[in-house]
Amino acid sequence: MKIYNKLVRDKIPEIIEMDGKKCVTHILTNEEYIAALEMKLNEEVAEYQEDKNLEEMADVLEVLQAICVARGYSLEELERLRAKKADERGKFADRIFLEYVEDGK
């Protein structure tokens, strides 16, 4: 027996059972779900930091989208806000690294 105690993608239990194994799951409350998603985000970001690959980026994005919806926002609202901030403050495309700001006095 291997203990996981973590949030998994929706089809994982089915995949496990198709492999001839038994798994025990339960459905989280909304509060537990958000906490588990935030833990999952940390896990996925750490995996991305280690591997730096597109698959891990996709996992990070999937978790971020789930957090957005779990907190009562729509993905459209998230995209609108992202685009608004990009328009007003820019993106990160120019690779600008701010070293310091001197006081104008």
**Residue 21 belongs to some domain of the structure:** no
CA dist., res. 19 & res. 94, Å (int): 47
**Residue 46 belongs to some domain of the structure:** yes
Which uninterrupted H or E stretch holds 87? helix 75-89
Per-residue pLDDT at 105: 74
Q: Which of 71, 20, 82, 97 is nearest to 63 (CA)?
A: 71
**Residue 9 belongs to some domain of the structure:** no
Cβ neighbors of 68 (< 8 A, separation 6 or more) are: 74, 75, 77, 78
DSSP structure string for 16-53? HHHTT------PPPHHHHHHHHHHHHHHHHHHHHHH--
Contact call for residues 81 and 88 (beta carbons, < 8 A): no
Mean pLDDT by 10 residues, the chain (105 residues): 96 97 97 98 97 97 98 98 98 96 88
Per-residue pLDDT at 104: 83
**Residue 71 belongs to some domain of the structure:** yes
When divided into structural domains, the chain yields a total of 1
Tokens 């779990």 correspond to 70
Instruction: Tell me the pTM.
Output: 0.88
Per-residue pLDDT at 49: 98
Domain span including residue 77: 27-89
**Residue 1 belongs to some domain of the structure:** no
Per-residue pLDDT at 24: 97
Contact call for residues 33 and 66 (beta carbons, < 8 A): no
**Residue 37 belongs to some domain of the structure:** yes
